[in-house]
Amino acid sequence: MSRAQAQDAVPPELRVRPVEAADLGQVIAIDTETTGIEKTDYWYELFHRYGGGRTRQRLFLVAESGSVIQGFIIGEVRDWEFGSAPCGWVFGLSVRASARLAGVGARLLDAICDGFRHAGVNKVRTLLARDNSLVLSFFRSQGMMAAPFIPLEKDLN
Amino acid sequence: MKLQKSTTLALFSVLEFAANPGRQLAAAEIAEKYGASTHHLAKVLRELGRAGLVESARGVGGGYRFSGNARRLTLMDVIELFEDISTRTGESDEFDQSSDVGRALGAVMAEVDEIAKATFRSITVDTMLKLIERQRRAAGNAQTASQG
């Protein structure tokens, strides 16, 4: 199978659903595989705030194939930041390395966008390091364009 | 960031060929569409051919067709065949680095260049084709609305 075909070949049994506490071990493993840093406390805290479908404004979803979590996505509706109308923000997305190029990320993004629409917003945004070409390319391939914002930072001495 | 004429011609050509993967396009057709000389375009196509992105088709009509991988090939991959922008910092020749003002302006230009490079690296030919299609549909919808 070519890469192009593989990108369209979503596993038929793939299911996207809200994260559950029992998924956290696999979520942490996927994140550790991607970032090289195990952040157990962080993920439990995130689950506490975003997991279990507590509100329509906060979404923490996983893509499951059989009993294997293949990836996850996290986001929330943010209101009126610097005058910006409420919009959906995706601030976490990762897919197990062995499951990439199979449409898992696209399914997760579609699902969280459906959730944002359900929450009443019609725009989705994200923020990435500019050297993260892999994930930037993914979001670009899903039709995302540069937003009318400029990220800024400074060292705090 | 300003791209050289050869680079922009290469981007136009790759996107034309990739949008019509099964079709042979004559160099003259592309040259006319984008107001370039056939001589200049031929040089660009030779370079794209050496990189394996287009191949010349023999037979009646001749022409070229796309032979790259649209899902993996980025705009930066095409650009770097013609000019080295990856090391461009904005601090090189545009501003005199011997003054504080020149160094500060160079730093701002470097910011602009870094964003441009990240953008070119993140957009594949396949993504561009989807964008072109969206723009085409939007223009069609706007035209329909103005007529209605």
**pLDDT tens per residue, chain A (157 residues)?**
344 444 445 566 899 999 999 999 999 999 999 999 999 999 999 999 998 777 889 999 999 999 999 999 999 999 988 888 999 999 999 999 988 888 999 999 999 999 999 999 999 999 999 999 889 999 999 999 999 888 899 999 8
Q: How many CB atoms lie within 10 A of CB A62?
A: 24
- Candidate from A4, A130, A143 with C-beta closest to B130: A143
Can you give the pTM of this predicted structure?
0.83
Give the span between the Cα atoms of A65 and A68, in whole angstroms.
5
Distance, CA of A33 to chain centre: 16
Q: How far apart are CA A18 and CA A52, in angstroms?
A: 6
* B129 → chain A, closest CA residue: A141
Mutate to test the interface with A, among B77, B122, B125 (most CBs of A within 10 A): B122
What does the pLDDT read at residue A5?
44
ipTM above 0.85, yes or no: no
Report, at the CATH architecture level, how domain B5-126 is classified. Orthogonal Bundle (1.10)
What does pLDDT average to over chain B?
89
Nearest CA in chain A to B122: A137
Q: If you count them, how many residues does chain A have? A: 157
Put simply, the answer to whether A140 touches B114 (Cβ < 8 Å) is no
| Pairwise CA distance, residues A96 & A66, whole Å | 14
pLDDT single digits (tens) A59-89: 999 999 999 999 999 999 999 888 889 999 9
C-beta atoms of A3 and B72 within 8 A: yes
Identify each DSSP E strand in B18-111 by its residue range.
54-56, 64-66
How far apart CA A61 and CA A51 sit, in angstroms, is: 8
Alpha-helix runs per DSSP H in chain A? 3-8, 24-35, 40-50, 104-118, 133-141
CA of A89 to nearest chain B CA: how many angstroms apart? 20
* Interval B127-133 mean pLDDT: 96
Q: Which residue of A has its CA nearest to B117?
A: A130
Q: What pLDDT shows up at residue B61?
A: 63
Q: Quickly name the fold that domain A3-134 has.
A: Aminopeptidase (3.40.630)
